[in-house]
Chains A and B, each alone.
Chain A
Amino acid sequence: MIYADNAATTRMSEKAIHVMTQVLQETWGNPSSLYEHGQRAKTVLENARGEIAALIGAEAREITFTSGGSEADNQAIRTAAEIGRSKGKKHIISTAFEHHAVLHTLERLKKEGFEITLLDVHENGLVVPSEVEAAIRDDTCLVTVMYANNEIGTVQPIREIGEICRRKNVLFHTDAVQAVGHLPINVADEPIDMLSASAHKFHGPKGVGFLYCRRGIRLVPLIEGGAQEHGRRAGTENVPGIAAMAAALRESCEKMPENAAHLIRMRDRLIAGLSAIPHCALNGDAEKRLPGNVSFCFEGIEGESLLLMLDDMGIQASSGSACTSGSLDPSHVLLAIGRVHDVAHGSLRLTLGEDITEEQVDEIIGAVKEVVTCLRGFSPVWRDLTSGKKPFIL
């Protein structure tokens, strides 16, 4: 089996499993309890907070633990919106290809009277900083742009966007769920006000994440009912998950240079191999992309069939086709970079893990070639394209 869907989730690291199990068995007290057993859990919690903060250049008090990336995104955006509302500023800037945790929150705010501007991400899947600047108005209360896209892997010019926001005195949030643990991030050095992360994207457990929020910005709680997390999030803390997240992030950050170098080599080998398939195209910029992300569109075939056939061959991947999204429309990300529906249905995302080998990459290339050829063999669309009845798009 070759697991090539690491953007969906990653396997927990041995270290993270060990830490989590240990906390479950030994430090299972409630961190809010005053006796020794509770306070030991509190220590585990605060050590994890300190460790995570240090790994991204933040202060411990700037880290709030959440149930994951979606909650962190919701809370960051809600917070900026409340601050904006209190000042009569009800304009938010984002991009057309954000995660739905961001887009759906913005849609909700729109119904509450906010105006939303979604920036173009162009054919290469990159936001242009000058377009952020041009979109900022006197009543803009937030700019939220993802650090790296979850489907096509493009890494955004976060520093440039952040500098513009800082200069214009507008809050800047980034959904860094795909970036944390994979790209070097230092909020002491980068002008980021809020940043969302999720543990299971960097070999930590599911159901836990964090929101970095720069000192001086008061987070609005989404969950009421207790004084945990300094009143920013009620509910007994997920101590085992949080401790495991810290362990996983430490490991990912320590190994980042060697992992990234290896993944980029594997990624580029895979891109080169798949590019040899006729009438296909890489989605997103070839260089400004996550080390492990490969995303392609193949003309004349449909993505769900493609990935189920790959599954039969022992390769797990993902697609942005309508059938995999549960709606009639293919992925909003692929539409945002200008892929027409016909082509967007034939998408394939392969997100590699650090343990991927050259042999496995070659196996993926061979399997994808075989499956694409097979599906095109009985596709009426492919017949029309090859017979000249319809023009090729790719």
Chain B
Amino acid sequence: MALYSEKVMDHFRNPRNVGVIEDADGIGEVGNAKCGDIMRMYLKIEDDVVKDVKFETFGCASAIASSSMATELIKGQPLSEVRQLTNKAVAEALDGLPDYKMHCSVLAEEAIQSALEDYSRKTGKQV
């Protein structure tokens, strides 16, 4: 039995939306190097919709796959939807994660919420 689902391995091998948005409207970072996982999310927001999203991740395969899947799930989505994104949705979209790796999906949710908060702070808009 493989450690990860095919979908996790696909997103790990070919992560979507990797990189940086220089003029991001919101940046979120969670985790720390001590624990071995750091995720940074960059959002470009127009008319309350996620126009673009990029990520950078330091972490294991499931952390990279969770970040990648999370960006896919929110790209082009209205902020009201993005606000509702849960770690469970990320994990399910990846066809599941091993129990002890579920925290990777939590990090992905938190990174996005943190980027939204940063956007609110910068713009004064409630999301």
Contacts and interface: CB of A to CB of B under 8 A. Distances in A.
Interface of A: 300-302, 304-305, 308-309, 312, 321-323, 326, 328, 330, 341-342, 345, 377-383
Given A308-B12, A345-B36, A380-B40, A302 B58 contact: yes
A300 B56 CA distance: 12
Nearest to A379: B58
Contact of A380 (B12, B36, B57, B61): B57
B45 interface: no
Nearest to A376: B58
Contacts of B29: 380
A378 B36 contact: no
By secondary structure, the A interface counts as helix
How many B residues are at the interface, by size bracket?
20 to 34
A140 B111 CA distance: 52
Contacts of B15: 378
Give the residue among B15, B33, B62 with the most A Cβ atoms within 10 A: B33
B38 A380 contact: yes
A301 B13 CA distance: 15
Contacts of A345: 33, 36
A330 to B, nearest CB: 7
Contacts of B1: none
A333 to B, nearest CB: 16
Interface of B: 9, 12-13, 15, 18-20, 29, 33-40, 55-64, 100-101
A197 B65 CA distance: 40
A330 B35 CA distance: 8
A173 B18 CA distance: 51
B61 A378 contact: no
Contact of B60 (A323, A382, A383): A323
A328 B12 contact: no
A-B pairs with lowest CB-CB distance, top 6:
A323-B60, A304-B60, A342-B33, A380-B40, A380-B56, A345-B36
A302 B60 contact: yes
A45 B29 CA distance: 61
Contact of A378 (B9, B13, B56, B100): B56
A302 B18 contact: no
Contacts of A322: 35-36
Contacts of A300: 58
Nearest to B56: A380
A330 B36 contact: yes
Given A305-B12, A305-B64, A312-B13, A380 B35 contact: no
B34 A341 contact: yes
Contacts of A326: 100
A378 B33 contact: no
Contacts of B34: 341-342
Contacts of B55: 378
A380 B64 CA distance: 12
7 contacts: A302-B63, A304-B61, A308-B61, A345-B36, A378-B19, A380-B38, A381-B58
Given A321-B36, A322-B35, A345-B36, A378 B60 contact: no
Contact of B18 (A301, A321, A330, A378): A378
B98 to A, nearest CB: 10
A301 B37 CA distance: 10
Given A301-B58, A380-B29, A323 B19 contact: no
Contacts of B35: 322, 328, 341
A130 to B, nearest CB: 34
A383 B18 CA distance: 13
Contacts of B100: 326
Given A305-B12, A305-B64, A308-B12, A379 B56 contact: yes
A154 to B, nearest CB: 24
A380 B58 CA distance: 6
Contacts of B12: 305, 308
Contacts of B58: 300-302, 379-382
B33 A341 contact: yes
A323 B19 CA distance: 23
A302 B34 CA distance: 11
